[in-house]
Amino acid sequence: MKKAFIFDLDGVIVDTAKYHFLAWQKLAHSLGISFSEEQNEQLKGVSRVQSLEKILEWGNKTISEERFSRLMSEKNEEYLSYIAKMDAGEILPDVPRILEHLILENQAIALGSASKNARAILEKVQLYDKFNTIVDGTNVSKAKPDPEVFLLGAKALGISPENCIVFEDSVAGIKAANIANMISIGIGNQEVLHEADYVFNDFTEIKEEFINQLVATKIV
């Protein structure tokens, strides 16, 4: 049975979640808004525009449209300064092992990320060629938890949503996978990602046998 395995990028393939956090924190502080790790959790999987909207809301701030777009560019420039230094060493543990296993098993592999920087990051860490299709922030109009990003990936691969398995580190992403009728696998904290069908701390806990079971499961 051919299944599609759809990977989120930030916090699943690479630990860029920490760079998003640092960049948003710097921006929030420059506006006199405090910004905690818990708040950052709520920004995972959320688009750049919506993230800034949330931060302003938390800080009770209203700003002009012009300042809004300036702040978005500043955040991205700060974020890109971290990305510029990335290489394959920043791929999260055992992600290559799982990707290679899926390739060996002739399974379809997709990227489903909200990031507009996704393609550049995959190139930097030399994983671009492992994906059969890439759907990112430049392809979607609706942000997670809307399932658009994953449904587009499934469609591009010609695989029904029920036969798709999503790896996600964000609450919004798990919700999106569930709404899409896909199998959701949380990568991270069990308490945070309790809505997922399965949760693992990271890919080192995922065995080839588990992947093979998912592949073998017949959906009627």
Enumerate the known binding-site residues for Mg(2+): 8, 10, 168-169
Contacts (Cβ under 8 Å, ≥6 apart) of 196: 168, 174, 177, 178, 184, 185, 186
Binding of ligand G6P by 25 (CB under 6 A) = no
Catalytic one of 8, 15, 129, 197: 8
Specify the stretch interacting with ligand G6P by CB under 6 A; choose among 41-49, 96-104, 175-183, 200-208. Answer: 41-49
Binding of Mg ion by 11 (CB under 5 A) = yes
For residue 145, whether the previous peptide bond is cis, meaning omega lies within 30 degrees of 0, is yes
Residues 20 and 79: beta-carbon distance below 8 Å: yes
Q: Which helix (H) or strand (E) holds 122?
A: helix 118-124
Does residue 10 carry a catalytic annotation? yes
Specify the stretch interacting with ligand G6P by CB under 6 A; choose among 44-52, 151-159, 195-203, 210-218. Answer: 44-52
Q: Which does 48 bind (CB under 5 to 8 A by kind): ligand G6P, Mg ion, none?
A: ligand G6P
Residue 56: count other Cβ atoms within 10 Å of its Cβ: 17
CB of 144 to Mg ion, least distance (A): 9
Question: What is the rounded CA–CA span in Å between residue 114 and residue 117?
Answer: 9
Which residue, 39 or 160, has its beta carbon nearer to Mg ion? Answer: 39
Binding mask 116-135 for ligand G6P (x = CB under 6 A): xx------------------
Does residue 129 carry a catalytic annotation? no
Nearest Cα neighbor of 136 from 160, 158, 120, 124 is: 120
Binding of ligand G6P by 46 (CB under 6 A) = yes
Binding of ligand G6P by 176 (CB under 6 A) = no
CB of 114 to Mg ion, least distance (A): 8
CB of 47 to ligand G6P, least distance (A): 5
Cα 95–215–171 angle (5° rounding)?
A: 55
